[in-house]
Structure 1
């Protein structure tokens, strides 16, 4: 659904949304502002629409979690993500969408998932889906690390939060609440899977979802020059 607003007649609305030039397109999902683009760039607008519609089709973003919360997988910068000890044929990208496939460990049961978002987000809860006997059990969470940590670091470092997942949580995919106050400005999150439910050498994750809300920031690339040449003042 789209709504067109006449900024001359609705000046308070325009000011409240930070609209200073036309046209400005603001995107909402589940009543939460998720993105914006400014300027009459048809190709840019189409790409932005496909970005949000396309990624939502591959995750579970249609669910209503209430409290202004939503699935944040749309905001994952997949080219900046990596997973240590992933199997070649069952890598991280399969677990970031619910369309099929799964993430599986390679040499042993441990995994480190490094997830980067394309803007700052608040993370309220995590959702894991996995076979009850192969899914992760003890998990350590780290945020805003300058690079992907290794397994020795993950073992020794103090985490932001530790989780102990139950089999029923993995089977149903019920959201697991985090200490929300600790995850208010997350650029990246690293998930250390220490072991799995069976104690075996293979860990499997069918899907992992991040639930919360984006922190709206101004993206300078969305602004288009409307007059003058580079270097001129206005």
Structure 2
């Protein structure tokens, strides 16, 4: 079992097309001991191993409330089909510990609440503010993210026709309880890598109709 079961035929993870140095995040604190904010955000958007299992701690958590905001820039003009979000699961899960013992790591304190609400914007030049989240219309939003599976993965299927030529995403996540931290371990973007942005021109890689 792994996140790959949530990727439809014909699509691939897009995370290796993310410009990691351009990642931004607002209102976060690190969830894993010994890491800083930059390392933790990059870890969230680094695709896990194909055999990765459940985890008992989060890479990042929201700080002052339940809201998290990310800016993701692609090196490709991509088509985005869905967003997979992995939250920490309670210790003792049968899937726990499949990734080199990472899942067996001792959780410090309680497991943070998972995201239940998402908003997504495309092709913005920079990250939004939290005030903008309520005033700028999102390309996609969902108030009831599906319950995670045994490994902590929830799939958010986007309206694919609206995500055909994507160079950047702003992703807003919020937990159910406004006053509790929201924890995220991984965010996996799924779709088609499309055209590569190289030296000011577009180089065709592959495309799905």
How far apart are 1:64 and its partner, in Å? 8.5
- Report Cα offsets for 1:175-207 as digits up to 9, x if no partner: 3211000000110000112x3144442111011
**For residue 157 of structure 2, what is the aligned residue in structure 1?**
177
Counterpart of 2:78 (choices 83, 106, 121) is 121
**For residue 80 of structure 1, what is the aligned residue in structure 2?**
22
1:146 aligns with 2:125: yes
1:217–1:102 distance in 2 versus 1, CA, 3 Å: closer
How far apart are 1:220 and its partner, in Å? 3.8
Greater helix fraction, Structure 1 or Structure 2? 1
SS of match in other structure, 1:189: strand
Matches within 5 A, 1:156-175: 156-163=135-142, 164-168=144-148, 172-175=152-155
1:80–1:61 distance in 2 versus 1, CA, 3 Å: farther
- If the length of structure 2 is used for normalisation, what is the TM-score? 0.67
Counterpart of 1:95 (choices 23, 34, 44) is 44
- If the length of structure 1 is used for normalisation, what is the TM-score? 0.61
1:68 aligns with 2:34: no
1:155 aligns with 2:134: yes
Whose RCO is larger (CA < 8 A, sep 6+)?
Answer: 2
Matches within 5 A, 1:98-113: 98=48, 102-113=59-70
1:104–1:218 distance in 2 versus 1, CA, 3 Å: closer
**For residue 137 of structure 1, what is the aligned residue in structure 2?**
116
Between stretches 97-106 and 209-218, larger displacement belongs to 97-106
Greater strand fraction, Structure 1 or Structure 2? 2
- Report Cα offsets for 1:88-140 as digits up to 9, x if no partner: 54532221133785121112211111111111110001100113661111111
1:188 aligns with 2:168: yes
Matches within 5 A, 1:221-232: none
**For residue 105 of structure 2, what is the aligned residue in structure 1?**
none
1:121–1:83 distance in 2 versus 1, CA, 3 Å: same
- Report Cα offsets for 1:10-64 as digits up to 9, x if no partner: xxxxxxxxxxxxxxxxxxxxxxxxxxxxxxxxxxxxxxxxxxxxxxxxxx89779
1:151–1:66 distance in 2 versus 1, CA, 3 Å: closer
- Unpaired runs of at least 5, structure 1: 1-59, 223-234
How far apart are 1:209 and its partner, in Å? 0.3
The number of equivalent residue pairs is 162
Whole-Å Cα distance in 1 between the matches of residues 167 and 11 of structure 2?
17
CA RMSD of aligned residues (A): 2.8
Whole-Å Cα distance in 2 between the matches of residues 129 and 170 of structure 1?
10
